[in-house]
């Protein structure tokens, strides 16, 4: 293992809002508890159901949050990353119970309308989908998250907090490196959203490999501001933060890749929550199947190691409206590799053997899907 992985000690300042791999703020946490109580009160035979939550089929829920929950309702343009991540954190809280993922799917509506209905003009790539059978230029491997410039505080900071001796921004590149190496060895063209260089970023004075994707893409394609600087409000404190989330799928679209694999770690208010979960964009069956094939292969790879044979992998990906998937034209899977808020998961996430098993599984799953497409069996 490169010594840089074992010698990283970087200060992390918290974002001034919720973040997807962080636990929700107190107000949202209280909301999650109220919604949980309403969900649990709805027994299958109940005659009266809450208007805030309804179960469409067993384990699948629609939750009404109201239009006021949105940060810029009706602007018709861009979904703020902070809103995406508040919803991701809230969804995680509603899906997990007693240390397990107890709910299959949670869909949010706002005044009866979907997120896409509120922000439709610039965020809809449904009409430009990439057909797997038509080829494509390899796969984009995107490690979350990395250092970014906060224009409000005028400093450089990581996007996620330290927990159990690790921080997502600096651990996910290890998985990405192993996966990229494996795919390249199998003659798959691999594109990386983040840099792999050890040299210092000239402005941040941080190693390039710790920097968010936005800055790598800027250096790689300086003329493509539409990719690395796509957030419209350039005066916003979190302009670079919003750029970063959007830059990954926009890069993939520009490259014409066949698929996207986003690597993240998860968080929950309960330290007992554990395991791996995948997310795909609602309504995209091809993406759901792609994710299922990959997650099945990861579970199989982990089962071969007695230490990780029982590591929880939910092989059925959940639908979740996240910018990294929503803006992608090719099949896209966001993998929450484990909960860094759980001590055992955090230890696994930092273990080179675990990282290699996960990378091997993702590689095998991708190769199977690449060969067979919709006919890939999954598990």
What CA–CA distance (Å, rounded) separates 212 from 243? 10
Mean pLDDT within 335-354: 97
Mean pLDDT within 289-296: 98
pLDDT, residue 72, reads 65
Does pTM surpass 0.85?
Answer: yes
Residue with the larger pLDDT of the pair 116 and 179: 179
What CA–CA distance (Å, rounded) separates 310 from 265? 18
Angle among Cα 64, 67, 69 to the nearest 5 degrees reads 85
Mean pLDDT within 131-152: 85
Please tell me the least confidently modeled range out of 61-65, 95-99, 153-157: 95-99
Q: In this predicted model, what pLDDT tens digit does every residue of 220-251 receive, in sequence order? A: 999 999 999 999 999 999 999 999 999 999 99
Computed over every residue of the chain, the mean pLDDT equals: 86
């Amino acid at each position: 293992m490169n010594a840089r992985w074992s010698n990283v000690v970087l200060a992390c300042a918290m974002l001034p809002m919720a973040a997807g791999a962080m636990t929700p703020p107190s107000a949202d946490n209280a909301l999650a508890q109220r919604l949980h109580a309403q969900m649990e009160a709805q027994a299958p035979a109940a005659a009266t159901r809450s208007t805030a939550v309804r179960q469409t089929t067993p384990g699948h829920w629609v939750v009404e949050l109201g239009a006021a929950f949105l940060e810029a309702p009706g602007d018709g343009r861009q979904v703020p990353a902070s809103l995406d991540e508040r919803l991701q954190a809230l969804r995680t809280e509603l899906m997990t119970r007693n240390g397990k993922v107890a709910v299959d799917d949670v869909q949010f509506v706002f005044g009866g309308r979907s997120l896409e209905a509120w922000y439709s003009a610039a965020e809809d790539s449904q009409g430009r989908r990439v057909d797997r059978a038509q080829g494509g230029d390899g796969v984009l491997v995107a490690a979350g998250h990395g250092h970014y410039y906060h224009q409000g505080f005028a400093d450089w900071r990581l996007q996620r907090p330290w927990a159990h001796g690790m921080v997502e921004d600096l651990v996910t590149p290890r998985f990405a490196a192993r996966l990229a190496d494996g795919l390249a060895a199998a003659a798959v063209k691999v594109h990386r959203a983040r840099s792999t260089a050890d040299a210092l970023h000239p402005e941040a004075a941080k190693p390039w490999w710790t920097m968010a994707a936005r800055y790598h893409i800027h250096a790689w394609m300086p003329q493509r501001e539409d990719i690395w600087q796509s957030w419209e409000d350039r005066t916003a404190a979190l302009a670079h933060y919003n750029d970063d989330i959007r830059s990954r799928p926009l890069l993939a679209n520009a490259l014409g890749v066949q698929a996207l694999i986003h690597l993240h770690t998860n968080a929950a208010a309960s330290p007992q929550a554990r395991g791996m979960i995948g997310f795909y964009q609602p309504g995209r069956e091809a993406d759901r199947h792609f994710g299922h094939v990959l997650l099945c292969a990861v579970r199989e790879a982990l089962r071969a190691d007695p230490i990780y044979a029982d590591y929880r992998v939910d092989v059925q990906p959940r639908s979740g409206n996240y910018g990294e998937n929503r803006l992608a034209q090719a099949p896209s899977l966001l993998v929450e590799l484990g909960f860094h808020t759980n001590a055992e998961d955090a230890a696994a996430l930092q273990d080179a053997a675990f990282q290699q098993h996960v990378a091997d599984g993702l590689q095998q799953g991708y190769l199977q899907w690449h060969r067979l497409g919709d006919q890939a069996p999954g598990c």
